Amino acid sequence: MVFNLPVRSMASPKCLLKLIGLAPLALLVLFAGLVLVTNFANFTDLAWAGGKEIVCASTTSTENSGLFAYLLPIFEGKTGITVKVVARGTGAAIELGKRGDADVVFVHARDAEMKAVEEGYFVNRRDVMYNDFVIVGPPGDPAKIKTAGSAIEAFERIASGGHTFVSRSDNSGTNIKELDIWKKAGLDAKGRKWYLEAGQGMEKTQRVADEKRAYTLSDRSTWLATKDKDRLDLAILFEGDPILFNQYGVMAVNPGKNPNARYTEAMQFINWLVAKEGQEAIGAFKDAHGNRLFIPNARLDAR
């Protein structure tokens, strides 16, 4: 029924806009155009605009400690390279690097890192710094782990007494360490009634442990940074066993596997981290409460 007629006279565009009466929408589009023009370089990858930047995949706990906010401006001021930190669990961070979506991976799961290096995904892995894991729990210590001879024995006491233990269960470095200890103790904790799988980050897991009057494995930096702020009624009940040593490493994505990886800039970052200046900066970093969270321990030989 539509009666199609040739369009002979068309109103001018200005008149058309008036006809449509969608001035607010036009304004919106205008504004967006302005944003696009003025911010194009920031909105897309800076590399396009000539700036140098790399993506560093790291862990949530490392980022939340505030270390990057302290270190990166120093590095950027010196080299002009922007480091964009994408914080995920350890497993996800390594995966990002394997896929080539990051240029550098900075995590704390030595075995997993070494495995990925052996598989050829990464090169030039270096130790950077360490902190350590501690077992925290209710100050009354119902499982009596304070007097345990090793972390393995402490875990055995928790299990045999059926005391509640909260696991992060998120494939993080801390979680990997915890599972390693259970394995060495010859215990299969998963599925037991007293074994809670939080599936959360370290701080939330601590809060769950606090609520449940339970034990959990934490890293010292998170513990120090959050115990007062979160008013945790927990205490360090076991520490100092070499198995609880938490080594942080950094490695570059292998440009042979991922030609798009920014290898040169990645190596500049790694070399800076393990050299005197980066090491001193790590040693000087303190959290809001004045605690020193990481101890630099880079050696000059590449792994």
Q: Under the rule (CB under 8 A), what is the footprint of another protein?
A: 1-12, 15-16, 18-22, 24-25, 28-29, 31-33, 35-36, 39, 42-45, 47-48, 55, 60, 63-64, 68-69, 84-87, 99-101, 200-201, 203-204, 226, 229-230, 258, 260-261
- The CB-of-128 to another protein minimum distance in angstroms stands at 20
Question: Which secondary structure element, helix H or strand E, spans residue 186, and what is its range?
Answer: none
- The CB-of-130 to another protein minimum distance in angstroms stands at 21
C-alpha–C-alpha distance, residues 112 and 117, integer Å: 9
**Residue 295 tokens, joined:** 């101890």
Half-sphere exposure (CA, 13 Å, Cβ side) for 15?
4
Q: Which is nearer to another protein, 18 or 78 (CB)?
A: 18
Distance from chain centroid for Cα 118: 22
Pairing of strands 295-296, 122-137: antiparallel
- The CB-of-188 to another protein minimum distance in angstroms stands at 29
Q: Which is nearer to another protein, 111 or 211 (CB)?
A: 211
Q: Which is nearer to another protein, 29 or 243 (CB)?
A: 29
- The CB-of-223 to another protein minimum distance in angstroms stands at 13
- The CB-of-30 to another protein minimum distance in angstroms stands at 8
DSSP state of 292: B
C-alpha–C-alpha distance, residues 88 and 99, integer Å: 14
- The CB-of-120 to another protein minimum distance in angstroms stands at 15
- The CB-of-7 to another protein minimum distance in angstroms stands at 4
Q: Which is nearer to another protein, 28 or 275 (CB)?
A: 28
What single string gives the DSSP state of each residue in 159-176?
A: HHHT--EEE--S--HHHH
C-alpha–C-alpha distance, residues 259 and 253, integer Å: 9
- The CB-of-141 to another protein minimum distance in angstroms stands at 25
Q: Which is nearer to another protein, 84 or 303 (CB)?
A: 84
C-alpha–C-alpha distance, residues 265 and 271, integer Å: 10
Q: Which is nearer to another protein, 86 or 114 (CB)?
A: 86
| Residue 130 main-chain phi, psi, to 5 deg | -145, 160
> What are the CA-CA distances from residue 169 to residues 111, 176, 202, 233, 274 (Å)?
18, 9, 10, 22, 31
Residue found under tokens 């550098």: 104
In this structure, are residues 143 and 161 in contact, taking their beta carbons and an 8 Å threshold? yes
Q: Which is nearer to another protein, 79 or 82 (CB)?
A: 82
| Residue 214 main-chain phi, psi, to 5 deg | -120, 170
Q: Which is nearer to another protein, 182 or 285 (CB)?
A: 285
